[in-house]
Structure 1
């Protein structure tokens, strides 16, 4: 399987790596890769290449399955999601690697259903059309409308304070960075986001419930340097490519309420 292509944008953009010596396994799939933290059983990072000029609109096919290349014991498999309100949230979205020929697109979209590409998300968080899905749709529409290539990196923030549940810890936050080459000056540009579902997670029982007091989840456009520090990952050239002006990076994160507020 070809995996994430670091030269896809015409510039070298490496897959984000862990900022420490934690044990990891690199898994490659058509058009994307997953770097799995084998102790947390969740992804440190994922990277997907999106070719807006050759995207193929396919009906949803594929079923969730364990990746046979690595031990079951290092994957957060079906037992994590049984009989609760947790969704198997795609990290690399099903549609994002679906480009090329129809056969290539179908193989790539179906590969997104391997469990290393999932992380537990509260149903209200994962199914929202306004921000979680809205943010991802916004990025995909940008690639499609402009016929540009985009690389997108997504993973949970693996915090040791995350509540334990069925042999894993449920992440309270997720991060996403979209990168592309600016058509004006042909330099790397990137935008970073943090999505917070901690208000939906009952830490005492580690179940996913909507809290009417705390509200749902919150989404921020955040400085990429802050994301690197928060998640403990090396984001390489993406930090310097941040589209947020330097002055804005020193201020508080920009909370988003609708996808139209996203700055790309």
Structure 2
């Protein structure tokens, strides 16, 4: 999810997503079959070019995104595309431009813009357009700091790994949608986002995974968070969000947070298993805080 992929100015009108033939995420893309995880909530499955969005129509945000990345046939395209709604679903089931207007919220790509842009030129061009659909966006605080740079660096490294080794990857990305997320303009702003990269080994095609978490939970020690949310709501401001923190985390903890069925991905986790304990600060034992680009490896 990369706000660096957000265009700074509106480009030419994008094609509508209605009535276009898209295959979406391919579960047989790797040498190991990897179906979409069960999310155990009502979603609309929206296929695009090389990726799929499972849209939560109540939260008006993606419950999960899944993209196939082919490092052997990536195409380098510019961003010149405007954000647009998906004509296949009602506007009021999507988080559209009104949520991002006149505030400091970024439209953060979930499926990163460059990840599905591969294959024949025409296909790559359409994939690029598809990533600018609002169903593939989630609000993020605009403030840029080291931890957010690390998250963007992670996305760069994933793509660079695929390109250098001509490797196929599958990447799952989503906001963590919680009941106590703060309301804003008809939606609730997520505080955490996760990314799980999956690939297969060259020796025997065994599945391997690595999971990462971006946390922008508010840090308001001594402040009544509910009251702070209420004041922001009354004033028409976005709820307070905290500084970005980036972690490598066990896949099983992502499953516990979301309720998704990630058993296949958890069994292939490359992070050394450790006991999971929930301390008072909410940062679990076994979460590896990332503070340097040198730590970004999988």
- On whether the aligned pair clears a TM of 0.5, the verdict is yes
Cα gap change, 1:42/1:241 in structure 2, threshold over 3 Å: closer, same or farther? Answer: same
Cα gap change, 1:223/1:192 in structure 2, threshold over 3 Å: closer, same or farther? Answer: same
Unaligned runs of 5+ in 1: none
Give the Cα separation in 1 of the matches to 2:85 and 2:130.
Answer: 11
Bigger mean CA offset, 112-121 vs 201-210: 201-210
Q: SS state of the match for residue 118, structure 2?
A: coil
Report if the CA contact (8 A) 2:100-2:139 is conserved: yes
Q: Is 2:70 the partner of 1:51? A: yes
Give the Cα separation in 2 of the matches to 1:125 and 1:233.
Answer: 30
Give the Cα separation in 2 of the matches to 1:222 and 1:149.
Answer: 22
Cα gap change, 1:142/1:225 in structure 2, threshold over 3 Å: closer, same or farther? Answer: same
Question: Bigger radius of gyration, 1 or 2?
Answer: 2
Where does residue 123 of structure 1 map in the other structure? Answer: 142
Report if the CA contact (8 A) 1:218-1:255 is conserved: yes
TM-score, normalised to structure 1, is 0.91
Report if the CA contact (8 A) 1:6-1:12 is conserved: yes
**Deviation sequence 1:183-213 (CA, Å, 0-9, x none):** 23420000001100123897342626676xx
Give the Cα separation in 1 of the matches to 2:136 and 2:217.
Answer: 20
Q: Is 2:288 the partner of 1:254? A: yes
Equivalent residue in structure 2 for 1:207, among 219, 235, 238: 238
Bigger mean CA offset, 195-204 vs 158-167: 195-204
Cα gap change, 1:52/1:88 in structure 2, threshold over 3 Å: closer, same or farther? Answer: same
TM-score, normalised to structure 2, is 0.81
Following superposition, the deviation at residue 128 of structure 1 comes to 7.0
Report if the CA contact (8 A) 1:16-1:234 is conserved: yes
Paired residues in the alignment total 258
Give the Cα separation in 2 of the matches to 1:159 and 1:219.
Answer: 19
Where does residue 220 of structure 1 map in the other structure? Answer: 247
Q: SS state of the match for residue 143, structure 2?
A: helix
